[in-house]
Chain A
Amino acid sequence: MNKRTIRVKTNVTLYLLLAPTILSLFVFNYIPMYGVIISFQDYSIYRGITGSDWVGLKHFLYFFNDSKFWSVMRNTLILNFYDLVFGFTSPIIFALLANEILKNRMKRIVQTISYMPHFLSWIVVAGLAHQMLSPTDGLINLLLQSVFGMDPVYFMAERGMFRTIAVLTEIWKSVGWSAILYFAIIAGVDSSLYEAASIDGANRFRQALHITLPAMVPMITLLLLLQLANMFGIGFERVFMLQNPLVYDVSEVISTYIYRIGLERSQYSLTTAIGLMQSLLAFVLLITSNRLSKKLTGMGLY
């Protein structure tokens, strides 16, 4: 065989190895991207994309003038804002504090326990949350009752409690796991920096503030960018499992709304339009926040 036939043979094998991936992406990613055009149609499942009527921006105008949509939008932004203020900062604080545990055994135990909830599904986490917060036999209510003599609170049905619960369960589930990235950075900080600082009389707090924290800044910036780009998206599973009809008006976010009116009420075109707008907003946000970050800190995603 000459070199040429070998090359051809090699390429045939390589294409065969790539075939499942290429095919699967084509069917389940590229065709749906094309399918987004149904947001400009009155899509009927019986008539298909080719047979459905074009309606221009009808669906976009509809949800723009729909008060329900704006309340969903508001919920999404508020929950994301809380996630940013509390959920985003907690792994940073967690990593800084855990770094001050000087006994390695204790540190390892804390890490092992805190990573674990990340591997549970939201169904399990919500199941545990329902149990802990139950008005009849939940531990939280038993505690409130015995210590403060309070009447049982039906936390999951309180409209005012939903966001607190959603933010706290998210922190419970992921704070340890998200801190791993920061632990890795802390482990990589040159220890001579700490030695020099302590000779100069800096205590542990000042060392954390002036050495450890600055070392974490690039990673913090990067993760903040990603989080900002996602301001209009909220993980479906968390909200879907924690909400119930009593708290819909504060808990419904874009993803659960798309599911509920898209799949349960077959409003395919309308919800595709909402999804498209959400993707466009995310794209714009990503580019804006990246630019902003490059200007302010000199660091960006790309």
Chain B
Amino acid sequence: MVEYRSTSRMIFNVFNYSFFTLFCLTILIPFFNAIAISLSSYGEVAQGNIFIWPKGFNLDAYAKLAANSGFIRATLNTVFLTVVNTILVIMCSLFAGFALSNKHLVGKKIIFTYILITMFFSGGLIPTYLVVNTLGLTNTYWALILPGVANVFYIIVFKNVIDQLPQELLESAEMDGAGEATTLLRIVLPLVLPMTAAFTVFSAVAYWNEWFNVLIYIRDKGLWTLQYYLRSILLDTSTVSSITQGALVQGQDRIHPQNIKMAALMLTVLPIIAIYPFVQKYFIHGQLVGAVKG
């Protein structure tokens, strides 16, 4: 590409680069600020002038959270639900997409329409809630697992990707007497692995961040996910004081509520930020596929 050296171009470049530097800072500074607050001492947080560097460095807030049974429980719940839900949704979508792309499937068109309709029409929040409630799933893990098992978007993408695989490959497997299950695992899966990886990362992040279903279906604190527990820490002073209580009574090494809030927030986003650089390309892949097929 040709480099431009005119004065107006120079002025534009200065403006453009400053704009993007500023933009990146507006994204990064809130995180640095949160980290700094989470690591600062009670007195400094109470004075309220921490910028992006901790004052009176300590890890007390993190220690309190790591020892808090509610927080540990919520973390374990989230890990469990993320793993189970991701495996289930990927398996179901791959299975369904594979079945729908088989030309021998009887009633293919009807089944495909049946699946597609749910993309455009839905019963809405309340009727869905009533079904889950009637089935007795509210306040159980099932309410956080079963409603999300079928992901129509993933199914369609899997179907399209498998449709585009060389048909001779699938036919030769059939000739060799391979059953459908063998064909799926041995031939199709390795070929759609990039797509599968992208969706796995996508849904893992989505389930890690999930809290809406907890809000509507769960009352028992023991079933809370990490996000929902964080919400409670951010909004409900009694949750924070249940975490800091020991420190407040002793009067020494006191912990400011802001310490706990920001420490919990950072712990919640840590896994995502940690994997983000490595899986960024999968995210982008998934987003672009979505645009083309959607």
| Structural contact, B24 and A130, CB atoms closer than 8 A | no
Partner of B95, one of A18, A28, A184, A278: A18
Within 8 Å CB of A209, what residues of B?
none
Within 8 Å CB of B231, what residues of A?
123, 241
Partner of A36, one of B48, B124, B212: B124
A203-B20 in contact given A18-B100, A137-B49 (Cβ < 8 Å): no
Question: What 1/0 mask marks residues of chain B from 187 to 222 whose CB sits below 8 Å from any chain A CB?
Answer: 000000000000000000100011110001000000
| Structural contact, A127 and B261, CB atoms closer than 8 A | yes
| Structural contact, A137 and B29, CB atoms closer than 8 A | no
| Structural contact, A27 and B216, CB atoms closer than 8 A | no
| Structural contact, B209 and A121, CB atoms closer than 8 A | yes
A186 lies within 8 A of chain B by Cβ: no
**Alpha-carbon distance between A132 and B114 when the two chains are bound, in angstroms:** 47
Considering the complex, which residues of chain B in the window 144-191 have a beta carbon less than 8 Å from any beta carbon of chain A? Answer: 146-147, 149-150, 152, 155, 179-181, 184
Within 8 Å CB of B216, what residues of A?
259, 263
Within 8 Å CB of B2, what residues of A?
198
**Alpha-carbon distance between A182 and B258 when the two chains are bound, in angstroms:** 39
**Alpha-carbon distance between A104 and B124 when the two chains are bound, in angstroms:** 45
Considering the complex, which residues of chain A in the window 158-189 have a beta carbon less than 8 Å from any beta carbon of chain B? Answer: 172, 177, 180-181, 184
Considering the complex, which residues of chain A in the window 104-155 have a beta carbon less than 8 Å from any beta carbon of chain B? Answer: 106, 109-110, 112-117, 119-121, 123-124, 126-132, 136-137, 139, 142
Within 8 Å CB of A131, what residues of B?
30, 33-34, 37, 258, 261-262
Question: What 1/0 mask marks residues of chain A from 25 to 59 whose CB sits below 8 Å from any chain B CB?
Answer: 10111111111101000010100100000000000
B16 lies within 8 A of chain A by Cβ: yes
Within 8 Å CB of A7, what residues of B?
104
What's the nearest-Cβ distance from chain A to residue B168, in Å?
18
What's the nearest-Cβ distance from chain A to residue B88, in Å?
8
The segment from A72-80, A95-103, A288-296 that touches chain B is A95-103
What's the nearest-Cβ distance from chain B to residue A145, in Å?
10
Partner of B28, one of A29, A35, A98, A113: A113
A236 lies within 8 A of chain B by Cβ: yes
Partner of B29, one of A10, A48, A139, A237: A139
| Structural contact, A116 and B27, CB atoms closer than 8 A | yes
What's the nearest-Cβ distance from chain A to residue B285, in Å?
10
Closest chain A residue to B125, Cβ basis: A258
| Structural contact, A276 and B291, CB atoms closer than 8 A | no
**Alpha-carbon distance between A13 and B105 when the two chains are bound, in angstroms:** 10
**Alpha-carbon distance between A298 and B264 when the two chains are bound, in angstroms:** 51
**Alpha-carbon distance between A262 and B230 when the two chains are bound, in angstroms:** 25
What class of interface size applies to chain B in its complex with A? 35 or more
| Structural contact, B33 and A139, CB atoms closer than 8 A | yes
Closest chain A residue to B27, Cβ basis: A113
A275 lies within 8 A of chain B by Cβ: yes
| Structural contact, A10 and B147, CB atoms closer than 8 A | no
| Structural contact, B48 and A28, CB atoms closer than 8 A | no
Partner of B265, one of A124, A181, A283: A124
The segment from B68-76, B241-249, B271-279 that touches chain A is B271-279
**Alpha-carbon distance between A123 and B283 when the two chains are bound, in angstroms:** 21
| Structural contact, B131 and A119, CB atoms closer than 8 A | no
A32-B272 in contact given A109-B24, A114-B27, A116-B27 (Cβ < 8 Å): no
Q: Across chains A and B, which 5 residue pairs bring their CB atoms closest together, nearest first?
A: A32-B123, A137-B48, A35-B127, A275-B124, A121-B209
Write 18 A-B pairs (CB below 8 A) sorted by A numbering. Answer: A20-B92, A28-B150, A32-B122, A32-B124, A33-B122, A36-B123, A114-B23, A114-B27, A119-B205, A127-B230, A127-B261, A128-B265, A129-B30, A132-B30, A258-B124, A263-B216, A268-B130, A271-B126
| Chain A residues at the B interface, C-beta cutoff of 8 Å | 7, 9-11, 13-15, 17-18, 20-22, 24-25, 27-36, 38, 43, 45, 48, 97-98, 100-102, 106, 109-110, 112-117, 119-121, 123-124, 126-132, 136-137, 139, 142, 172, 177, 180-181, 184, 191, 194, 198, 203-205, 219, 236-237, 241, 255, 258-259, 262-263, 268, 271-272, 275-276, 278-279, 283
